[in-house]
Amino acid sequence: MNDENSKKMIECENLVKIYKTKDIEVVALQGLDLVVETKELMAIIGNSGSGKSTLLNMLGGLDRASAGRLLVDGNDLLKFNDAQLVKYKRDFVGFVWQNNARNLIPYLSARENIEMPMILSGVENKKSKALELLDLVGLMNRKNNRLDQLSGGEQQRVAIAIALANDPRLLLADEPTGSVDSKTAANILDVFRELNKNLGVTIVIVTHDQQLAKKVDRVVAIRDGRTSSEFLRKKSYAEEMGEMKAGAFAGEAESQEELVVVDKTGRLQIPSEYLDTLGIKGSGKIKVEMDGNRIVLYSPEK
């Protein structure tokens, strides 16, 4: 892999994924573009069927794109052979799933669960490293507890520690807060923020929950298999927390803005509420005009 100071961790260009069965083809991604910076903590949101989980599986080496370019740390995953993909999944990327059964072994303690991937990889000092990871996720006092003695949020923290066991530089989380209540979800997201800050690991969280925008500085929205817009914070989350402590927080409405993404061919996805206002449905047409430094879209009937 490339130098850790390389600026871009992920580069997706015109990424296409088509699932084929005997009778039908399903296009999960249709020309998606995305860039994630090294050491960034960001979220990808979208409704069911939007393509966000398909993208995550390809970033993790669990699935291959049908077309396009997919670079991770400067390496083209589409050109990896099976042995290279195995090494990539083992050494470079970590996974956190919504379903804890994919991360955890129920009859082992929290510490033993974290040690398991290190045993498989031949890591030395497994016990001390497992304890260090438990401390990072705030579960040192639960190290000897089995899964049935842990809450859902505690189990997810153990799952995060397991994903970090082999020192990945890229951490992928698929709906990591989907099975817990809102308070626990906020605590889990705080863990991700601390790991991103203290370990410098790049973290990509996939979710349907737009409230994640309150916890990360960039949220990318995917609609119909294509990057449609980004939610950017005018001030970082850390800056806003500092303002809240000082009693000078300006409020969410003034701190965020949504930007529509224009791909390299000039395509964009206009938010559906805007199209509804114009009365445009399906593959309808609109007028496009230049007005000084603005591009104006309006219904041809007006």
Q: Is 164 exposed, middle or buried (0-12, 13-18, 19+ CB in 10 A)?
A: buried
Percent of the chain scoring above 90 in pLDDT: 42
pLDDT band for position 239 (cuts 50, 70, 90): low
Residue 249 pLDDT more than 50? no
Percent of the chain scoring above 70 in pLDDT: 86
pTM: 0.83
Torsion of CA 142, 147, 151, 152, to 10 degrees: 130
Give the β-pairing of 226-233 and 67-72: unpaired
Domain ranges within the chain, ordered by starting residue: 270-302
Q: By mean pLDDT, which of 19-23, 58-62, 214-218, 283-287 is the weakest?
A: 283-287
- Written as one string, the DSSP assignment of 135-171 is HHTT-GGGTT-BGGGS-HHHHHHHHHHHHTTT--SEE
The number of C-alpha atoms within 13 Å of 86 and in the hemisphere containing its C-beta is 4
Summarised one tens digit per residue, pLDDT across range 163-186 is: 999 899 999 999 888 878 888 888
CA 204 to centroid of chain Cα atoms: 3
Give me the pLDDT at residue 12, please: 94
pLDDT band for position 5 (cuts 50, 70, 90): very low
290 φ, ψ to 5°?
A: -90, 135
Give me the pLDDT at residue 41, please: 94
Residue 20: Cβ within 10 Å count: 9
Q: Could you tell me the two tokens for 207?
A: 């979710």
Query: From CA 301, how far away is CA 279, in angstroms rounded?
Result: 10
Summarised one tens digit per residue, pLDDT across range 52-87 is: 989 999 999 999 999 999 999 999 999 999 999 999
